[in-house]
Structure 1
Amino acid sequence: MTITRNETRDDTLLPGAAVIVGIRSLLIWAVVAGTMLAVFLRGSMSSCSGGVTGSGGFLDADGQPTDVTPMCGSITVSASPLVYAAIALIVLASLTRILGRADTVDAALRIINNARMVIVVLTLVTFVVGYWAIMTARVDDWSNYSLLYPFPFATFDISTHPMGANG
């Protein structure tokens, strides 16, 4: 049997090949989304609330001499591990849903496309919330501060130390 140019090769493909290609695409999107979050959603700020006088004494946040060592600190924001778990859960749930509910290839591809869009939206919302959280973080006094915690999208790593203790 010879195949002419007008014939298609669809009948020679593995049954369900379109679904396998869709699943591969979904996995690639999930890995890329997780990698982008790990690489690009990282921000930090650091400061010291006070300073040192010319004679070796300390200044507080208002510029007044003090005997108490001023506090320094840093904040680092990154994607929450819950976001990575949610991406994995979306992939697993969509595969389970395909096995349980999809009776046609079109239904399976629709489930895969919906899962892919949920991953994209979750990634974009995590980027926006994470960048908003670090951009709005302002600390004037490290001994008394408050931050708006962006749970469950991002997590803060906060460290404080007396001035001069860490460099």
Structure 2
Amino acid sequence: MPDVIAADGTIRNDDWVVVPRPAAGESMDIPEDKPVLIPADLWLAGHEHFAGKPSVGVWFDSHDEPELLGEKVNELPLIAVNFPRFVDGRGYSIGRLLRERFGYRGELRAIGDVLLDQLQFMKRCGFDSYVLRADKDIAKAPKCLTFFTQTYQAATDTDQPLFRRRAS
């Protein structure tokens, strides 16, 4: 199993299994003995069955809209956002919307094509855990999360831009 990096730079084992979207006409193969992340729309379709289970979270693909879950967002212990390619920035918007518009308070994880130089920007958008692409050195992750000491803009981690913070 891959390791997961927390926003504070700690590295731990990742127990969550990402269940891929089944092909048309097939059913999901969900392991019974491990916590799972299933596609968000399929969780919503089976809400009565999955709701309230601490071992079931969801994952969004980059083209999914967070509005899909709406007020049910805080029923989930973990939401992962898939970054299919490092140049696809839609996941940043999904993370920020989940935190700011929908008030998601659980763990928000970046998965997929996650690179070291993206970690601090993902953190600013509300992500608090990350699964790096397999060919990246996880030992470098803690430094990448704190590479910049100051930020100019407001984001999920600070509600004031730098010029206002300096003025106060």
Task: Answer whether TM exceeds 0.5 for this pair.
Answer: no
Q: Name which one, 1 or 2, has greater alpha-carbon Rg.
A: 1
* Structure ranking higher on relative contact order (CA contacts 8 Å, 6+ apart): 1
Question: Scaled by the length of structure 2, what TM-score is found?
Answer: 0.18
The alignment's TM-score, normalised by the length of structure 1, stands at 0.18
